[in-house]
């Protein structure tokens, strides 16, 4: 790999580690490229945010390929993960503490699988209040962290495939293929509501974006080692 290749444009597939923000990954990769080739600057951007508590495929574009980011963002995405039933959290995932508990003793596997079928196709979904969407110039999570109520408009998203895997209550494993703009945290929350119960997202891994698969991605350490070769 050469400095010119990165400047002309490369697609870099990173398997994002747990607790790293997408922004941190971009900064680290940019710094590694600049250090390796002695560059003062190099454009690096990512094609679709992953929350710090999620792992998996992050597509990075360098140099002139940063112009292609929007085309990657528009592609279908595949995720696997776990919902935890019987409780809710304000952030719809494990970023915040449980705020309400529910009895799950009456929930059956049949109910879970039937509820899954309600979410295939075009669905109206409200993004979480703990999200980076902007309202009146501020990120929604800025309002949420200050305890300010804010109305979040729903949006139409599409779920192409939604499968339930292992069920070991309170945990339910899933796989979903969805359109741009889908929040899996909101899907978990809405799944709980549809069950007349509660649910939050307890693990998430992005496995595909379009034709790109996480099995072809490298860790940040591997990327650094590959640069050194």
Which residue numbers are catalytic? 51
Q: Both tokens of residue 125? A: 């979904």
Q: Both tokens of residue 4? A: 């010119």
Three-state DSSP class for 9? coil
In whole angstroms, give the CA distance from residue 130 to residue 77: 21
Q: CA 66, 28, 74, 156 torsion: positive or negative?
A: negative
Residue of 195, 154, 151 whose CA lies nearest to 172 = 195
Bridge partners (DSSP) of residue 208 are 78, 213
- Locate tokens 């690096």: which residue? 44
Number of other residues whose CB lies within 10 A of the CB of residue 123: 20
């Amino acid at each position: 790999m050469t400095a010119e290749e990165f400047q002309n444009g490369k697609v870099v597939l990173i398997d994002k580690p747990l607790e790293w923000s997408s922004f941190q990954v971009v900064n680290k990769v940019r710094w590694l490229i600049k250090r390796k080739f002695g560059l003062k600057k190099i454009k690096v951007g990512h094609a679709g945010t992953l929350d710090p508590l999620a792992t998996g495929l992050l597509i990075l574009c360098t140099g002139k390929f940063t112009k292609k980011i929007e085309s990657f963002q528009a592609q279908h995405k595949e995720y696997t993960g776990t919902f935890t039933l019987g409780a809710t959290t304000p952030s719809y995932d494990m970023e915040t503490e449980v705020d309400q508990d529910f009895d799950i003793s009456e929930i059956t596997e049949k109910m879970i699988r039937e509820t899954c079928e309600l979410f295939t196709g075009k669905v109206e979904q409200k993004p979480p209040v703990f999200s980076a969407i902007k309202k009146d110039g501020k990120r929604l999570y800025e309002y949420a962290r200050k305890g300010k109520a804010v109305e979040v408009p729903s949006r139409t998203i599409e779920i192409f495939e939604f499968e339930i895997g292992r069920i070991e209550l309170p945990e339910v494993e899933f796989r979903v293929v969805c359109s741009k703009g889908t929040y899996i945290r909101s899907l978990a929350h809405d799944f709980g509501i549809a069950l007349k119960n509660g649910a939050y997202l307890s693990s998430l891994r992005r496995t595909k974006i379009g034709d790109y698969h996480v099995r072809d991605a490298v860790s940040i350490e591997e990327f650094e080692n590959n640069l050194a070769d």
